[in-house]
Structure formats: structure tokens, C-alpha cells
């Protein structure tokens, strides 16, 4: 399936093999979508394959299709954030990363990508306010609390570091915290 090919694409060093995996993945996704046009996973995988080719227009269309099928899925929101970041559209990237976090802050890779993005784009203060509100909604998200600790650390806000360290430790006790 295309999802397994995505894993191969990430590790493949040989350009020709990598490109062949991408083409095979696109073909498999298109077959899947011919049979079941509203299969969100295939649209997301197809968008990811186009993204890996740096074909951001086609990838964007695929991810928007996923959102039209399932507006609660954080994956296409995160993927759109990545597209807009690559296109240096930081306002749109921030908007879509925030939407993805609001759907599922524990989505794989979302928090480290978001953290790097906000620090590099000078959006730490804006993001802290958003994340504090989001933490109330997802109070059991260990990773969200760790992100807040890191962002408060960048501001030397030791009072809030302590607040969120205690929260994180209550979720997942750790001698490191």
C-alpha cells in the first residue's frame, strides 16, 4: 500500500529508486480513489507523495479534499501547515498548525515541528497564549505540557515552567521532571 511506500521513500537514498517508489505510491492511491473516491487516507497519502515531490499545488488539493471528507482529521491540517511553511507563507502555516493542534496535539511530529516553527518565526508569545488555552482542553496531553515548558523556558518564565512541569509530572511521573 502507499503508506508502506512512504516509509521506504523516507529512507531511500537512491534517487531513481525513491522516484519509482513515489510513482508506485501515486498509482496505488489513484487506484484506491477510483474504487472509493472518498477514502480520506488515500487522499492524505497521495498528498504526502506529491509533497515529497515538492508538487505543493497537487498536495494542497489532496489535503483540502481530506478536510472536506473528514474535518476532524489533524493530519491534513498539519500537512497543509508544512506546505505553507515550505512556501514561506508563515501566517497560513501557523494557522494550520494551530488547527491541527486543536484537533489532536499528540499527532506524531506535530509538536516538535510547531515548536521549531514558532521559535524560528518569532511567534512564541502568540503561541503561548494559544497553547495555555489549548492545554485546558487537552489537560492530559503530556507532550503539550512539555511544549509549554520549553516555550516558557525560552522566555525565562520560571514560575510557569514550574506550573507546567508539575502538570506534566502528574500525567506521566518522571524523575527527569
**What would the pLDDT profile of 112-135 be if each residue is shown by its tens digit?**
999 999 999 999 999 999 999 999
Q: Is the pLDDT of residue 13 over 90?
A: no
When pLDDT is cut at 50, 70 and 90, the band that residue 1 belongs to is very low
All cell numbers assigned to 110: 506535530
Helix ranges, the chain (H): 2-11, 15-35, 40-52, 56-69, 74-86, 90-103, 110-120, 124-137, 142-154, 158-171
| Whether the model pTM is above 0.75 | yes
Q: Is the pLDDT of residue 10 over 80?
A: no
What is the rounded average pLDDT of the residues 34-53?
A: 95
Neighbouring CB atoms inside 10 A of 81's CB total 26
Amino acid at each position: 500500500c502507499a503508506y508502506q511506500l512512504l516509509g521506504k521513500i523516507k529512507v531511500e537514498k537512491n534517487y531513481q529508486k525513491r522516484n519509482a517508489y513515489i510513482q508506485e505510491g501515486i498509482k496505488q492511491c489513484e487506484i484506491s480513489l477510483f474504487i472509493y473516491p472518498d477514502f480520506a487516507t488515500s487522499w492524505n497519502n497521495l498528498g504526502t507523495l506529491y509533497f515529497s515531490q515538492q508538487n505543493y499545488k497537487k498536495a494542497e488539493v489532496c489535503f483540502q479534499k481530506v478536510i472536506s471528507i473528514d474535518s476532524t482529521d489533524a493530519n491534513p491540517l498539519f500537512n497543509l501547515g508544512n506546505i505553507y511553511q515550505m512556501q514561506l507563507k508563515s501566517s497560513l502555516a501557523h494557522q494550520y498548525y494551530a488547527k491541527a493542534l486543536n484537533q489532536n496535539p499528540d499527532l506524531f511530529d506535530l509538536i516538535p515541528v510547531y515548536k521549531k516553527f514558532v521559535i524560528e518565526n518569532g511567534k512564541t508569545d502568540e503561541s503561548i497564549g494559544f497553547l495555555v488555552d489549548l492545554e485546558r482542553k487537552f489537560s492530559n496531553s503530556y507532550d503539550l505540557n512539555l511544549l509549554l515548558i520549553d516555550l516558557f523556558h525560552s522566555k525565562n518564565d520560571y514560575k510557569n515552567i514550574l506550573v507546567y512541569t508539575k502538570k506534566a509530572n502528574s500525567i506521566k511521573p518522571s524523575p527527569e521532571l
